[in-house]
Amino acid sequence: MASGGFWSLENENGGENSNQNQSTPRAWCQAAHKFTGDLGSKLYALLNVGEGEKTASTIAQKVGDPTENCDCNKPCNCSKRNLDFSNLYSTDLLPALDGDLATITFLQEVVDVMLAYIVKSFDRSTKVIDFHYPNELLETNNWDLSDEPETLEDVLINCRAALKYSIKTGHPRYFNQLSTGLDMVGLAAEWLTSTANTNMFTYEVAPVFVLLEYITLRKMREIVGWPDGQGDGLFSPGGAISNMYAMLVARFKMFPEVKEKGMSSAPRLAAFTSEHCHFSIKKGAAALGIGTDSVICIKADERGKMMPSDLERRIVEAKQKGLVPFFVSATAGTTVYGAFDPLNAVADICKRHNIWMHVDGAWGGSLLMSRKHRWKLDGVERANSMTWNPHKMMSVPLQSSALLVREEGLMQSCNQLHACYLFQQDKHYDMAYDTGDKALQCGRHVDIFKLWLMWRAKGTFGFEAQIDKCLELSEYLYNKIKDREGYEMVFDGEPQHTNVCFWYLPPGVRYLEDKEERRRRLHKVAPVIKARMMEHGTTMVSYQPQGNKVNFFRMVISNPAATYEDIDFLVEEIERLGQDL
């Protein structure tokens, strides 16, 4: 048995076997008793005898007799129901003197709220969202901040309200974003990460997490195909920041003097990416002082893939204009179409022109975990850097975004500033693990544990199965609607990722002969259906226009909870909500 609590590792209690010999009939009570193994004796003492006297004057007055209605003969948590939260405040919780009981009871109450929410999240009979317009939501509750504290009862009410009005992002019919799903092991790891509440900058304050980041990044680089998993990287707060890091490091590699001297020491630079790229490439260029005009958008083919011939042409053109090409970002899984740029062809061009090749695999990078689908990223091993967001296709809780860099030491040279109060050079351990100076951030959130623990729980094969299943579902959707009356695909052919882009044409639009009128009406269909989905709360899927194409649905599947029936439901729901348009 794996139970026994944290202390069992430290041999401070008799462990599981002794519990099994007890004849207490109710297992939950047994769990409580077990939990109170070492704690309980303290609680018991506090609440009943001896050193409990000082408690009696404070907590006990507030909670009444905590042993009331309890016929346990042992130290226990039976007083849970007697804790009157309407009379307790946060100051009654730890580190308050003898705040243990109130703390455990309060946290357990929050856990109960969450467990109920989690189970409901997977129940198709519940709504994906209980939608309210902003002004309505403001009126459902008093959300204001004031000088005076509120009771723990009110705090719990706030917790329930926050979840009640949140999206159930783990719901099997939530398809709205590239990040969906709620993984139970990942969630447990996030709870634990919050409990550890530390920072990634030094081994000193995050020994376990720093090592796990090291191990996980190396594993990811092995999967990319870099020899022995060598190279560098870190987990950053999202794909946009990872992409910005890549651009920053690429600039440093070519013009290291920019770090001290600024962009005035470099010639005018040029970066290249597909017209279907993620907007973070331009955001990064704006922030880094390169400028959005220096991001040259390369034509994509009908399927959304960058055209190598156009890339080559534009690089040559830029050089002729006196610009210095320094960065190409190929996209592995575009946001809207799910297209994979031809990485080998891009790598050839980058090699020829000596340009840093970055692969933005925020969305599609996870396909590297699938033996069936990883060919779509062939050539990624030739890249200089890669963004890969496990919080998307691998359903790791938000956020989990890795930047991987092939050349070791570059991130450190690029970003380090040797803050002596943090990265002391006379520490008693191997300071190679103090990786904080690689980052732009000082404090960095622990994003590693959830991915690492999920990987342990699933194995690479488990992630593969999850990813393959999502791709099967999208293939199913594609086959279901490609010839179905009332549907038009935005691009021909089977999607490469789980993105299925399509128009639904309600009967009133379907037969319109005036093409302009048809376009005009069709443009409004997806927003209305989406609004109705949210008001009914039945499902959520994204839509957008693109180029000269009017609003279309972009279905994506990254939610491991989704099934064929949910795909069928989505199609039926679109038709049900849209047929009168």
Region of 51-59, 125-133, 310-318, 352-360 interacting with a copy of itself (CB under 8 A): 125-133
Of 237, 280, 176, nearest to 399 (Cα)?
Answer: 237
Identity of the residue, 181 or 379, whose beta carbon is nearer to a copy of itself in the bound complex: 181
CA 505, CA 519: separation in Å to the nearest integer? Answer: 10
Q: Shortest gap between Cβ of 458 and a copy of itself (angstroms)?
A: 5
- The one among 234, 561, 567, 581 contacting a copy of itself by CB under 8 A: 561
- The one among 198, 331, 474, 539 contacting a copy of itself by CB under 8 A: 198
Of 455, 207, 497, nearest to 364 (Cα)?
Answer: 497
The answer to whether residues 551 and 534 touch, using CB atoms and an 8 Å cutoff, is no
CA 506, CA 240: separation in Å to the nearest integer? Answer: 37
Of 286, 370, 269, 280, nearest to 322 (Cα)?
Answer: 269
Q: Residue 82 interacts with a copy of itself (CB under 8 A)?
A: yes
Q: 235 forms bridges with which residues in the sheet?
A: 402
Q: Residue 169 interacts with a copy of itself (CB under 8 A)?
A: yes
Region of 53-61, 89-97, 373-381, 508-516 interacting with a copy of itself (CB under 8 A): 89-97
- The one among 59, 224, 240, 306 contacting a copy of itself by CB under 8 A: 240
Q: Residue 398 interacts with a copy of itself (CB under 8 A)?
A: yes
Of 333-362, which residues contact a copy of itself (CB under 8 A)? 335-336
CA 348, CA 124: separation in Å to the nearest integer? Answer: 49
Q: Shortest gap between Cβ of 345 and a copy of itself (angstroms)?
A: 26
Q: Residue 291 interacts with a copy of itself (CB under 8 A)?
A: yes
The length of the chain, given as a count of residues: 581
Total residues at the site for a copy of itself (CB under 8 A)?
217
**CA distances to 6, 480, 579 from 507, in Å:** 62, 18, 6
Identity of the residue, 122 or 476, whose beta carbon is nearer to a copy of itself in the bound complex: 122
Q: Shortest gap between Cβ of 297 and a copy of itself (angstroms)?
A: 13
Q: Residue 172 interacts with a copy of itself (CB under 8 A)?
A: yes
Q: Residue 534 interacts with a copy of itself (CB under 8 A)?
A: yes
Instruction: Please compute Rg for the chain using Cα positions.
Output: 28
- The one among 115, 309, 352, 372 contacting a copy of itself by CB under 8 A: 115
Q: Shortest gap between Cβ of 88 and a copy of itself (angstroms)?
A: 9
- The one among 59, 63, 206, 383 contacting a copy of itself by CB under 8 A: 206
Beta-carbon contacts of 251 under 8 Å, excluding residues fewer than 6 positions away, are 258, 266, 269, 288, 290, 326, 327
- The one among 228, 426, 483, 580 contacting a copy of itself by CB under 8 A: 426
Q: Shortest gap between Cβ of 465 and a copy of itself (angstroms)?
A: 8
Q: Residue 265 interacts with a copy of itself (CB under 8 A)?
A: yes
Identity of the residue, 25 or 50, whose beta carbon is nearer to a copy of itself in the bound complex: 25
Looking at residue 519, its amino acid is R
> How far from each other are the two terminal CA atoms of the chain, in whole angstroms?
58
Of 362-391, which residues contact a copy of itself (CB under 8 A)? 391
CA 351, CA 346: separation in Å to the nearest integer? Answer: 9
The answer to whether residues 540 and 167 touch, using CB atoms and an 8 Å cutoff, is yes
**CA distances to 103, 261, 319, 436 from 268, in Å:** 59, 14, 10, 31
Q: 340 forms bridges with which residues in the sheet?
A: 332
Which stretches does DSSP call E strand in 275-432? 295-298, 324-331, 356-361, 385-388, 401-405
- The one among 545, 568, 572, 579 contacting a copy of itself by CB under 8 A: 545
Contact string (CB under 8 A) for a copy of itself, positions 27-46, x = contact: xxxxxx-xx--xx-------
**324-331/269-274 β-pairing:** parallel
- The one among 46, 47, 189, 368 contacting a copy of itself by CB under 8 A: 189
Identity of the residue, 100 or 232, whose beta carbon is nearer to a copy of itself in the bound complex: 100
- The one among 192, 227, 309, 319 contacting a copy of itself by CB under 8 A: 192
The answer to whether residues 401 and 235 touch, using CB atoms and an 8 Å cutoff, is yes
Q: Shortest gap between Cβ of 488 and a copy of itself (angstroms)?
A: 19
Identity of the residue, 258 or 509, whose beta carbon is nearer to a copy of itself in the bound complex: 258
Q: Residue 297 interacts with a copy of itself (CB under 8 A)?
A: no
Q: Shortest gap between Cβ of 344 and a copy of itself (angstroms)?
A: 26
Q: Residue 573 interacts with a copy of itself (CB under 8 A)?
A: no
The answer to whether residues 340 and 305 touch, using CB atoms and an 8 Å cutoff, is yes
Joined tokens for residue 346: 């891009």
Of 90, 114, 227, 250, nearest to 170 (Cα)?
Answer: 114
The answer to whether residues 397 and 450 touch, using CB atoms and an 8 Å cutoff, is yes
- The one among 45, 114, 254, 512 contacting a copy of itself by CB under 8 A: 114
Region of 57-65, 261-269, 314-322, 474-482 interacting with a copy of itself (CB under 8 A): 261-269
CA 494, CA 492: separation in Å to the nearest integer? Answer: 7
Q: Shortest gap between Cβ of 77 and a copy of itself (angstroms)?
A: 5
Q: Residue 211 interacts with a copy of itself (CB under 8 A)?
A: yes
Q: Shortest gap between Cβ of 376 and a copy of itself (angstroms)?
A: 21
Identity of the residue, 93 or 345, whose beta carbon is nearer to a copy of itself in the bound complex: 93
Q: Residue 520 interacts with a copy of itself (CB under 8 A)?
A: no
Identity of the residue, 244 or 505, whose beta carbon is nearer to a copy of itself in the bound complex: 244
Of 430-469, which residues contact a copy of itself (CB under 8 A)? 430, 433, 440-446, 449, 452-462
Joined tokens for residue 78: 């039976």
Q: Residue 212 interacts with a copy of itself (CB under 8 A)?
A: yes
| CA dihedral (43, 47, 50, 52) positive or negative | positive
Beta-carbon contacts of 366 under 8 Å, excluding residues fewer than 6 positions away, are 388, 389, 390, 392, 393, 394, 463, 467
Identity of the residue, 43 or 345, whose beta carbon is nearer to a copy of itself in the bound complex: 43
CA 327, CA 277: separation in Å to the nearest integer? Answer: 14
CA 486, CA 553: separation in Å to the nearest integer? Answer: 13
Q: Shortest gap between Cβ of 552 and a copy of itself (angstroms)?
A: 10
The answer to whether residues 281 and 273 touch, using CB atoms and an 8 Å cutoff, is yes
Q: Residue 482 interacts with a copy of itself (CB under 8 A)?
A: no
Residue with tokens 């975990």: 369
Q: Shortest gap between Cβ of 348 and a copy of itself (angstroms)?
A: 28
